Amino acid sequence: MVIDDSNTIRRSAEIFLMQAGCQVILAENGFDALAKIADHEPDLIFVDIMMPRLDGYQTCALIKKSGKHHATPVIMLSSKDSLFDRARGRMVGSDEYLTKPFTKESLLRAVESHLAHRSPA
C-alpha cells in the first residue's frame, strides 16, 4: 500500500512496485488508508509523513495500535531527513524511513528487506 497526498509520488511508487510484480493499493490520505487497510490487508505500507488532516505519524501510530495490523511493516516517506524526523517515526512504530525522492532501487530494497523474512501465509 502507498499512502501519499501527491498523485505523482503515488503513481511513481505504483509503477515501480507493479514492475516488480507487486499488487498495489493506493490511498490519498490517512483516513482513506485506514479504511482500505481493513479491506485489503496489505503486506507492507508506505506512508508519507506530510499529509493534511491525518499525517503519516498519526496514521502509522493508528496502524501499529491495531491488534490486527500491528505487525505490518510501515515505511515512512518524507522529503525531510533530520535525525528528529527519523526518531519520531521510530517512536510511532515505523519500521524504516525513506527519503523522497526515492529511487526504484531504494523502494524495492525496502520491500525485499521487510517481506523476505516473512513466512508465507
Could you write out the DSSP letters of every residue in 46-63? EEES--SSS-HHHHHHHH
d(CA 106, CA 72): 19
CA distances from 85 to 2, 47, 72, 99, 107 (A): 19, 14, 21, 11, 19
d(CA 51, CA 59): 10
Q: Average model confidence (pLDDT) for the chain?
A: 93
2-114: CATH topology is Rossmann fold (3.40.50)
What pLDDT digit, counting tens, does each position of 62-83 carry? Answer: 999 988 999 999 999 999 888 9
Q: Could you give the count of Cα atoms lying within 13 Å of 93 in the half-sphere of its Cβ? A: 17
What pLDDT digit, counting tens, does each position of 41-62 carry? Answer: 999 999 999 999 899 999 999 9
All structural domains of the chain with their residue ranges:
2-114
pLDDT band at 119 (very low <50, low <70, confident <90, very high): low
pTM of the predicted model as reported, rounded to 2 decimal places: 0.93
Residue 80 pLDDT: 83
- Average pLDDT estimate for 21-37: 96
**Cβ count within 10 A of residue 112:** 11
Q: Pairing mode, if any, of strands 96-99 and 2-3?
A: unpaired
Q: Degrees (nearest 5) of the Cα angle 100, 85, 12? A: 20
